Amino acid sequence: MRAEPTRQLRLLDLQAVDTRLDQIAHAKRTLPQLAELADLEGKARLIDDQLVRSRTELDDVQREVARAESDVQLVRDRAARDQARLDAGTGTAKDLQAIQHELASLARRQSDLEEVELEVMERAEAAEHDVRELERGRSELTERIRALEAARDEALARLDAEAGQVAAPRDRLVGDVGEDLVTLYEKIRAGSGGMGAAELRQRRCGGCQLDINPVELQRLRSAPEDEVLRCEECRRILVRTAESGL
C-alpha cells in the first residue's frame, strides 16, 4: 500500500487518540467502586434474606404471645367468676367447696400459663432485637451503597468528559489518514490489542518493542517514503519519523 508520509504521520496521532480512548474505556470498566459495589450488594442480598426469615420468626412468636395471653386471660376470667360466686355465698356448702377446689386448681393452671407466657415474651423480645439489628445493618449498608454509587457516577462522568475531549479530533484525523490506510489500521488494531500502527524509533518497532534486524533494516532504508511498511514481527504498520534511526 502507498500513502504519503504526512498521512502516515497522522496515523500515529490517530493511534494515540485510540490508545487513550481504550485506556479510558478500560478505566470505566475497572473502576474500584464497581468491585466494592458488587461486594456490598452481595452483602445486602444476604441481609435481606435474613430479614425475611427474622420477620417471619417474629410474626410467629408474636402470634404465640397473643395465644399465651388469651390462655391466661381465660383462666383469670374463670377464676374471677368463681370468686364472685364464692363471695356471693349462694349455693350449698358442697358447691362452695367445689368452687374453692376449682379456684386452687385454676391458680396452679394460671401460674403454669404465666410461665409459658413469660418464656414466649422473652423469645419475642429476642426476635424483635434481631430484626432491629438487621434493619440497622441494612440501612447502614444502603447509605454506603448510595455513597459509592455517587462516587462511581462522578468518576464515570469525569471519564466520559475526558473521552469526549480526546475523541474530538478523531474524525478529522481519520479524514487526514484516508480510508484505505484507516481500514488497514483498524483491521490490524482489532487483532493486535488495540495497536494497529507504531512508530519506527531508533531502529525498533514501537508496537512489539523488538529491534529491526539488519537485513530488514536495509530493506526499510531503501523503501520509498510513501510505502506503507509493516513490522516483520508483529505485522503492525511501521511509521517512519525523524527518530527512526535509518
Q: Which positions touch Zn ion (CB under 5 A)?
A: 205, 207-208, 231, 233-234
* Closer of 13 and 233 to Zn ion (Cβ): 233
Smallest gap from residue 185 Cβ to Zn ion (A)? 14
Least gap, CB of 193 to Zn ion (angstroms): 12
What is the spatial distance between Cα 80 and Cα 110, in angstroms, rounded to a whole number?
12
CA 17 to chain centre: 30
* Residue (176 or 233) nearer to Zn ion, CB: 233
Nearer to Zn ion, 183 or 213 (CB): 213
CB of 184 to Zn ion, least distance (A): 15
Closest approach of Zn ion to the CB of residue 194, in Å: 14
Least distance in angstroms from the C-beta of 206 to Zn ion: 8
The smaller minimum CB distance to Zn ion, of residues 196 and 207, is found at: 207
Residue placing its CB nearer to Zn ion in the complex, 44 or 234: 234
